[in-house]
Amino acid sequence: MAHKSLGEKYLLGSGRVPKIVDHDERRLELVDATWRIIARLGIESATMREIATEAGFANGALKPYFPTKDTLLTFAFGHVFNRTNERIAEVTSGLSGLAALRAFCVEVLPLDEERINEARIVIPFWQKAINDPGKAQIHRESMQQWLDAIRRHLAEARDSGDVSTAVDDDSLAGQLLNMLLGAQIAAALLPEGQTDLGLDRQLEGFLSLLTR
C-alpha cells in the first residue's frame, strides 16, 4: 500500500472525517525513537516492540507507517545521511577551498556526544549493508557525493594556492574520506563519557600537509 503524502491532513478524501495524524510527521517521530534506541541500547535492542514503546505506542502501532521493520530501518538510515548532508550544506555555504573543506570535515567528524551517537547508528548500518546490496549502494552513492564535494573544495584550494602538494586530488580525497570514516569507528568504541580523540588536531595536521 502506498504511503500518504505530506499535507493530507487538510486534503480530505471522499469520507467526511479528516485524518488526525500527519503520516510523514509520524514517520519522523518513529525514526527519532529508533535512533534513540540504537544510540542508547544498540541495534540488537531495536525491536519493533522496543521502538514502539520508546515512541509511546503499543506493539502494532508502527505497522500503518512502516509495513515492515526493514522499511523502517532503511528510512531511518537514509534520514541520517540526509540530516548530515543538510548540516554540511549549511556550514559550507558561502565558503570555498580549504575553509569549506575544514568546515565539511568538522561537521562529519564525531567531535561531540551527538555525532558520536550518529557514529553508533551508522556502524550498524554498515554492518547490515555488508549483506544487503541495496543498503550498500545507498552508502556508495553518498560517499561518491562526499568525494565529489571534497574534490571540488580541493580544486578551489589549489586555485588559491592553499593546496600545492604534488599528490593528486583523487588520492587526497580518498585519504580524507577514509580518515573521516575511520574516525567514526574510533569514536563509537570510546569508553562511556569520553569524547576526545584529538580528531580536530588530526584534521589540522592533515590539512597542513597539503601545502608544500
Partner DNA sequence: TTTTATTTTCTATAGTTGTAGAGAATAAGC
Partner DNA sequence: GCTTATTCTCTACAACTATAGAAAATAAAA
List residues near a second copy by CB under 8 A.
41-45, 120, 123-124, 126-127, 129-131, 133, 136-137, 139-140, 143, 165-168, 170-172, 174-175, 177-183, 185-186, 188-192, 197-199, 201-202, 204-206, 208-210, 212
* Residue 153: contacted member of DNA, a second copy, none (CB under 5 to 8 Å, by partner type): none
Provide φ and ψ at 37, rounded to 5°: -60, -50
Residue 20 or 166: which CB sits closer to DNA?
Answer: 20
Residue 52 or 173: which CB sits closer to DNA?
Answer: 52
A 10 A CB-CB count for 50 gives: 15
Residue 27 or 102: which CB sits closer to a second copy?
Answer: 102
* 123 CB-near residues (< 8 Å, 6+ apart): 184, 185, 188
- CA 8, 75, 174 angle in degrees (round to 5)? 135
Give CA–CA dist 117/85, Å, rounded: 16
- Cell 534513540 belongs to which residue? 36
Residue 18 or 134: which CB sits closer to a second copy?
Answer: 134
Provide φ and ψ at 161, rounded to 5°: 90, 0
* Residue 175: contacted member of DNA, a second copy, none (CB under 5 to 8 Å, by partner type): a second copy
Give CA–CA dist 27/41, Å, rounded: 21
Binding piece for DNA, criterion CB under 7 A, among 21-29, 75-83, 148-156, 176-184: 21-29
Give me the residues that bind DNA (CB under 7 A), please.
13, 15-21, 23, 26, 45-50, 52, 56-61, 63-64, 67-70
